[in-house]
């Protein structure tokens, strides 16, 4: 049986990990809201591009550019600003490195946020709106962005589910540890 200091440290570490996991879950849910807002605005943009392409008409390009402007200067900036300020979902462990040794993840590998899959389609949409204004190419880039955004949404959804499961399992283990003392 571990001595009292080891036991107390293990319990305290367990509580710190629970707090870390709860904060990760909170940040993932805020990320969810940011993705939802981007998805709504982008859907409006994508639908306008598809309609213009189907009609073979560039008459709606000012409206398309306006929607994209709001999407890229509000929702995308809001998402990027949120990501740059996160404190938990960009870490894989609650432990801080000490004595030159890297901290090890506590449980299964924790996911972090990576929005790089959105970068290339974003740039291509921006370029096409500035230069070519071809609805056909704009639709191609819009489809690429939609796929990358859907992948982000799917990953986020799975991650939130995993975070809840892991947090529940951790609290059960912590409770058992206290009860078995």
* Whether pLDDT at 169 is above 70: yes
Please give the angle made by the CA atoms of 116, 118 and 124, to the nearest 5 degrees: 120
- The length of the chain is 181
Residue 110 inside a domain? The answer is no
The two three-digit tokens of residue 117, written as one number: 């899959």
* Spatial CB neighbours of 61, under 8 Å, sequence gap ≥ 6: 52, 133, 135
Residue 109 inside a domain? The answer is: no
Backbone angles phi, psi at 157, to 5 degrees: -60, -45
The structure tokens 């949404």 sit at 153
pLDDT digits (tens, 9 = 90+) for 61-82: 899 999 999 999 999 999 999 9
Q: Can you tell me whether residue 98 is helix, strand or coil?
A: strand
Going by C-alpha positions, the residue among 155, 152, 156, 133 that lies closest to residue 144 is 152
Q: Is residue 10 part of a domain?
A: yes
Domain that residue 154 falls in: 4-90+115-179
Q: How many domains does the chain contain in total?
A: 1
Cα(111)–Cα(101) distance, integer angstroms: 21
**Structure-block tokens of residue 20:** 């870390």
148 domain-assigned:
yes
Q: Is residue 107 part of a domain?
A: no
For residue 109, what pLDDT is reported?
Answer: 55
Q: How far is CA 167 from CA 2, 27, 45, 140, 179, in A?
A: 25, 14, 38, 40, 18
Helix, strand, coil content of the chain in percent (nearest 5): 75, 0, 25
State residue 110's pLDDT score: 67
Residue 87: pLDDT band with limits 50, 70, 90: confident
* Residue 97 belongs to a domain: no
The three state secondary structure string of 129-165 is HHCCCCHHHHHHHHHHHHHHHHHHHHHHHHHHHHHHH
pLDDT tens for residues 9-29? 888 888 898 899 899 899 999
């Amino acid at each position: 049986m571990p001595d009292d200091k080891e036991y107390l440290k293990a319990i305290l570490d367990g509580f710190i990990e629970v707090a870390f996991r709860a904060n990760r879950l909170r940040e993932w849910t805020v990320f969810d809201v940011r993705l939802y807002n981007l998805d709504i605005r982008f859907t409006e943009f994508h639908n306008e591009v598809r309609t213009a392409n189907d009609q073979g008409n560039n008459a709606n390009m000012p409206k398309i550019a306006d929607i994209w402007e709001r999407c890229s200067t509000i929702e995308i900036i809001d998402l990027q600003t949120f990501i740059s300020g996160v404190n938990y979902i960009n870490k894989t462990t609650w432990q801080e490195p000490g004595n030159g040794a890297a901290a090890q993840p506590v449980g299964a590998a924790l996911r972090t946020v990576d929005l790089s899959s959105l970068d290339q389609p974003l740039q291509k949409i921006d370029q096409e709106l500035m230069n070519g204004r071809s609805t056909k190419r704009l639709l191609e880039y819009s489809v690429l962005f939609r796929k990358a955004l859907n992948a982000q949404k799917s990953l986020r959804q799975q991650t939130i589910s995993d975070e809840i499961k892991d947090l529940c399992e951790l609290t059960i283990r912590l409770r058992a540890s206290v009860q078995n003392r």
